[in-house]
């Protein structure tokens, strides 16, 4: 029997890249999966079609991560469709890599709104529908732990904030046996950061094993944390970056 049979999951930013891989993997493991997207409706519907073609249940919901009402509506739609939210994967995020002298307060607000505030808002809203023993898994970045190049201060700030949130939340939710973890991917082959791109060799030069992650590898780690073998893990960080931060 699939390890997530009877479970329900909400994956934010699940229309492409790592988020889409996570959604497909959780569905393959038996969970009913809702994903949110902002603009990539066609890709989001493709993910749902893949899930349904394999015999699963999927749902795509448009949600602006800067709009609290949209976040609340996405959570409510998921709970209404599936009855509960036993797994929340906070994956949606943006990457703005520029020196601080080129960044404005509006840039700061946009990054923090999407990468931090929305994580707080989705988590707070989902908890109203999450049974005891649920899972909250946030996608951080290895750049929260080590910054090898200039131009990453704002992005690294936003992802580092999620580490503290994860550890504090683990303490808050321990009495309900809800485990809370953060996964830090390194360079991962997606359309936003292809392993054949102009900066790919520079990124590989920092790795102990010079190869990009496949999104499915990150999804496998998330699936383990969401499954029965991950129930004793909370307040923890997991880095999957081919040894970049070693």
Q: For the domain that residue 98 is a member of, what is the CATH number?
A: 3.40.50.720
Average pLDDT (106-116) is 98
Q: How far is CA 155 from CA 20, 141, 146, 193, in A?
A: 22, 9, 12, 15
Could you tell me the residue range of the domain that residue 56 belongs to? 8-240
Average pLDDT (108-116) is 98
Indicate whether 1 belongs to any domain: no
How many C-beta atoms lie closer than 10 Å to residue 111's C-beta?
A: 21
Residue 1 scores a pLDDT above 90: no
Half-sphere exposure of 137 (CA within 13 A, CB side): 30
Average pLDDT (183-205) is 96
Q: Give the catalytic positions in this structure.
A: 155
Query: What pLDDT sits at residue 200?
Result: 96
- pLDDT tens column, 32-64: 999 999 999 999 999 999 999 999 999 999 999
Indicate whether 245 belongs to any domain: no
How many domains is the chain partitioned into structurally?
A: 1
For the entire predicted model, the pTM comes to 0.97
Query: What pLDDT sits at residue 149?
Result: 95
Q: How far is CA 200 from CA 90, 189, 193, 210, 218, in A?
A: 26, 9, 8, 10, 18
Confidence of residue 105 (pLDDT cuts 50, 70, 90): very high
Please state, for a pLDDT cut of 70, what percent of the chain lies above it: 100
Indicate whether 93 belongs to any domain: yes
Indicate whether 202 belongs to any domain: yes
Indicate whether 14 belongs to any domain: yes
Indicate whether 190 belongs to any domain: yes
- pLDDT tens column, 18-36: 999 999 999 999 999 999 9
Indicate whether 129 belongs to any domain: yes
Confidence of residue 152 (pLDDT cuts 50, 70, 90): very high
SS3 string, the chain, reads CCCCCCCEEEECCCCCHHHHHHHHHHHHCCCEEEEEECCCHHHHHHHHHHHHHCCCCEEEEECCCCCHHHHHHHHHHHHHHHCCCCEEEECCCCCCCCCHHHCCHHHHHHHHHHHHHHHHHHHHHHHCCCCCCCEEEEECCHHHCCCCCCCCHHHHHHHHHHHHHHHHHHHHHHHHCCEEEEEEECCECCCCCCCCCCCHHHHHCCCCCCCCECHHHHHHHHHHHHCHHHCCCCCEEEEECCCCCC
Indicate whether 115 belongs to any domain: yes
């Amino acid at each position: 029997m699939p390890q997530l049979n009877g479970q329900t999951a909400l994956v934010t930013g699940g229309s492409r890249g790592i988020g889409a891989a996570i959604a497909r993997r959780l569905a393959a493991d038996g969970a009913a999966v809702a994903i949110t997207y902002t603009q990539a409706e066609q890709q989001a519907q493709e993910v749902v079609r893949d899930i349904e073609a394999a015999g699963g249940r999927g749902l795509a919901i448009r949600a602006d991560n800067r709009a609290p009402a949209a976040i609340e509506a996405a959570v409510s739609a998921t709970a209404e469709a599936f009855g509960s939210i036993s797994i929340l994967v906070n994956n949606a995020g943006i990457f703005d890599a520029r020196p601080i002298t080129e960044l404005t307060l509006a840039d700061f607000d946009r990054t923090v709104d999407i990468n931090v505030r929305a994580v707080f808002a989705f988590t707070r809203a989902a908890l109203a529908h999450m049974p005891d023993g649920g899972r909250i898994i946030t996608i951080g970045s290895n750049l929260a732990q080590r910054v090898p190049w200039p131009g990453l201060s704002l992005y690294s700030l936003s992802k580092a904030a999620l580490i503290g949130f994860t550890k504090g939340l683990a303490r808050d939710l321990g009495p309900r046996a809800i485990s809370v973890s953060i996964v830090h991917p390194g360079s991962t082959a997606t359309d936003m950061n292809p392993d054949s791109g102009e900066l790919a060799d520079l990124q590989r030069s920092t790795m102990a094993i010079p190869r990009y992650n496949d999104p499915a590898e990150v999804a496998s780690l998330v699936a383990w944390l969401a499954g029965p073998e991950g129930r004793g893990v909370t307040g923890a960080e997991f880095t999957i970056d081919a040894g970049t931060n070693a």
